[in-house]
Every structure is written in C-alpha cells, then in structure tokens.
Homo-oligomer: A and B are copies of this chain.
Amino acid sequence: MPKAQASKRPLKAPPPPSRRSPCPVSCALDLFGDRWTLLIIRDLMLGRSRFKDFVSSPEGIPTNILSDRLERLLEAGIVRQIPTTEGGKRMAYELTEKGEALRPVMKSIRDWGLTWEPDTKAVMQQS
C-alpha cells in the first residue's frame, strides 16, 4: 500500500525507471499521457490547489485516481506540497518550476481544442 508523500529524492537526475524509448515525447507521455493528469495540472494552473478543488472539477475525477496521480506528480517533481496558509497541518499542492514549464503544452492543447473541437469553451485565461 503506497503512501502519498513528498519524500526526499536525489537532487541529481534519478535514473529513468523504465522508459519505452529515449524519445522526449514518449518520456513525457510516460508522465502525463493519460486522461486525467493534465486536467489536474490545468486546475493547478488555474490556481486550484486542494484535493477537494480537483475533485469538484466538472470532469469528476475519481478520488483513487486523483490520489494516485498526485503521488506520481510529486515523484516526478512536477508538483510539490505546501502547508495551507492558515498554518494547519493540511497540505496544498502547487506546481514546481518543472510543472510551470508545462504551460506552453497546456496552451497549445487548449488552442487546438478551441479551434478543432466544436462547442468548447476556454476556462483558462491567456498564458
């Protein structure tokens, strides 16, 4: 039973666990190539930061999937946990620099969807 945590990781590049190929696209898809991960990152880019925020997004992510994806994103160094502003023990999530670097990816996907998928509406503001 894996536990969700932001554990210490080597500061240097960890050896890639099991890649399908050295292609950067393939490696990127190993991290966020599924139907949910980029939606969590979208929410983070919109300023949402709490478990309940992700759950209440209109797509309705199952909570077990959300737990798993947050854990993977923490391991990948794309998000990190921070204490909530009230100083309580509950944690919020936010994008690391590596995660923020996905904004061009998000923007290109959003733009493609707006152009080619009928009846889509952008929730995200530019850039």
Kindly report which residue of chain B lies nearest to residue A42, judged by CB atoms.
B25
**B residues within 8 A CB of A108?**
104-105, 107-108
Kindly report which residue of chain B lies nearest to residue A118, judged by CB atoms.
B13
**Contact across chains for B39 and A35 when beta carbons are under 8 A apart:** no
Contact for A119 among B16, B104, B114, B122, CB less than 8 A: B16
Kindly report which residue of chain B lies nearest to residue A113, judged by CB atoms.
B24
Is A62 interfacial (CB 8 A cutoff)? no
List of 9 A-B pairs having minimum Cβ-Cβ separation, nearest first: A24-B113, A13-B118, A24-B120, A21-B58, A20-B59, A28-B113, A33-B35, A104-B108, A27-B117
With A22-B119, A23-B42 known, 15 other A-B pairs at CB within 8 A are A16-B117, A20-B59, A23-B39, A23-B113, A23-B122, A24-B109, A24-B120, A24-B121, A25-B39, A25-B109, A25-B110, A27-B113, A29-B35, A29-B38, A34-B35
